[in-house]
Structures are given as C-alpha cells and as structure tokens.
C-alpha cells in the first residue's frame, strides 16, 4: 500500500488512519445465512442421489450373492448325482436349522465346511457372506416386529429357494428328495433362489404373488419401499435378473409338470 502524504495524515489523524487499515470482518450475518442456505440446497439435491447410489450398491451386492449361491447349487448337484439341494422339508423329529435348509447344503462351497445357524442374527450364518442381503438387514425382523418376538425364526433370513424343487411338493413337504438339475425343461425361466420377504422370513418360497393374508413370500425391496420394489432372482441356468410384483408372469415355479 502506498504511503499517504504527511498532510493527509495530519488531516485525518493518526488514529483514524489505523482504523482504515484494519481488516473488515470476513462475513456479515446476511452473507453467512446465504452460504448456509446454498449448502442446504446442495445437500437437498445430493442426498437423494447418494441414497439412490447406496440402494443400487446394495442391490448389486445382492445379485452377486445370488450368483454365487446359484453356482454353489450347480457344484452341489455335480457332487450329488445331479440332485438339487432341498430348500426345506418338514421333519418333525429333527427340524434343525443347522441341517434343514438349502443354505446348510451349499455352505461348504461358499462359506465354511459346516453351517452354523446360531441363536440370533448377530451370530448366524444366515447373515454372513453370500447369505446376507444388506437391504434385508435394514428391515423388521419379521413382519411388524422390529426385533425377534420370541416366535418364528430367530434370525433375519435374506434368501429362499423354490420349494417346488421337492419331488413331493405339491402337495407335501415331507421328503427331502429333489428333482435333478438336468430335468428342468426351461432353466432360464425357472425360479431357483431369490430375495425372501420379511413377511415370510423362511428358506423356501412357494408363491410369487400376494397371499390371502396380505403378505408376500418374495422380498420386493430393492429400489422402492417393500413391496413396491424389485426382487433379485437367480434362475436355474444361474443367470441373475430382477423383477417387480407386476413382472412375474414369465417366471416358472412348478417345473415338474
């Protein structure tokens, strides 16, 4: 800054000169409010986009999990004379979650040698590795119960297999005998494994639509609030797709007819 002339300093006074050379405050109150308003507007624009990106990431992980489960199913069939794993069957004498579901059968191919059901979601293989859908874990434990109500399954289950894999179903689920993988006429259109709903929370699905009590077997949770979203599906040829409640007509559940 150029020096002021001596006569100008004398005219203004030394104290006034120093007041002129001091820095002004960085922002006025109005400026701060404007900046805060701009940040709020930007946050309002960005947060929905970030939320959507997070949901897409969860759905992508879910699809990856289903792909690995489908491939594990093929490996299981290859080791068991082409027989598909059973989803679940009614075994009153030994209905143990550590052995009676398809997850227990394909676990050696994707997680560890032996499946461990545990006694809660926090210590269960139902909520680990490829059996864990992050979007499912954000939902209620079962139906309208945020936490385990003391009845039903004590874990949050993310995926379920087609119950029609059982040779005895329909009408019964009293035998673990299953169809052969190579017996499936249209594998690309045939349901293998998909997201299961919080309404069912069980490892076997028998219906793609709305049940008489208003619940659903399939977890239509991705992209929109359940049941208006989409469910991810692994077909019998191991390809992965997604579908909404209005897009189920081309999906085959009963393939043994």
Domain ranges of the chain: 37-244
What Cα–Cα distance (Å) separates residue 250 from each residue in 49, 226, 227?
32, 21, 19
- What pLDDT was estimated at residue 18? 47
Decide which of 226 and 45 is more confident.
Answer: 226
Give pTM, 2 decimals.
0.81
Instruction: Identify the band that residue 17 occupies on the pLDDT scale cut at 50, 70 and 90.
Output: very low
Decide which of 94 and 69 is more confident.
Answer: 69
CB 194 within 8 A of CB 159: yes
Strand residues in the chain grouped as ranges (E): 159-162, 191-195, 204-205, 230-235, 240-244
- What pLDDT was estimated at residue 7? 54
Position 15 pLDDT exceeds 70: no
Position 56 pLDDT exceeds 90: no
- What pLDDT was estimated at residue 34? 79
Decide which of 15 and 233 is more confident.
Answer: 233
Position 233 pLDDT exceeds 80: yes
Position 200 pLDDT exceeds 80: yes
């Amino acid at each position: 800054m150029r020096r002021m002339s001596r006569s100008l300093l004398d005219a203004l006074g030394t104290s006034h000169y120093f007041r002129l050379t001091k820095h002004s405050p960085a922002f006025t109150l109005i400026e701060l409010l404007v900046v805060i308003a701009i940040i709020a507007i930007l946050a309002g624009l960005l947060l929905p986009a970030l939320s959507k990106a997070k949901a897409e990431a969860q759905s992508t992980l879910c699809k990856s999990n289903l792909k690995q489960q489908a491939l594990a199913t093929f490996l299981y069939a290859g080791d068991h004379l082409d027989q598909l794993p059973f989803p679940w069957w009614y075994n009153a004498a030994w209905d143990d979650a550590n052995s009676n579901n398809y997850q227990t059968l394909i676990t050696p191919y994707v997680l560890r040698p032996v499946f461990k059901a545990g006694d809660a979601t926090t210590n269960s293989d139902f909520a680990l590795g490829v059996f864990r859908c992050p979007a499912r874990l954000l939902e209620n434990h079962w139906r309208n119960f945020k936490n385990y109500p003391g009845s039903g399954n004590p874990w949050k289950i993310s995926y379920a297999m087609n119950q029609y894999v059982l040779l005895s179903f329909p009408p019964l689920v009293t035998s673990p005998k299953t169809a052969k993988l190579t017996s499936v006429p249209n594998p690309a259109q045939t349901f293998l494994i998909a997201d299961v709903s919080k309404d069912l929370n069980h490892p076997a699905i028998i219906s793609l639509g709305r049940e008489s009590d208003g619940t659903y077997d399939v977890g239509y949770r991705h992209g929109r609030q359940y049941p208006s979203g989409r469910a991810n599906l692994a077909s019998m040829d191991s390809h992965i797709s997604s579908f909404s409640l209005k897009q189920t007509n081309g999906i085959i559940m009963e393939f043994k007819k």
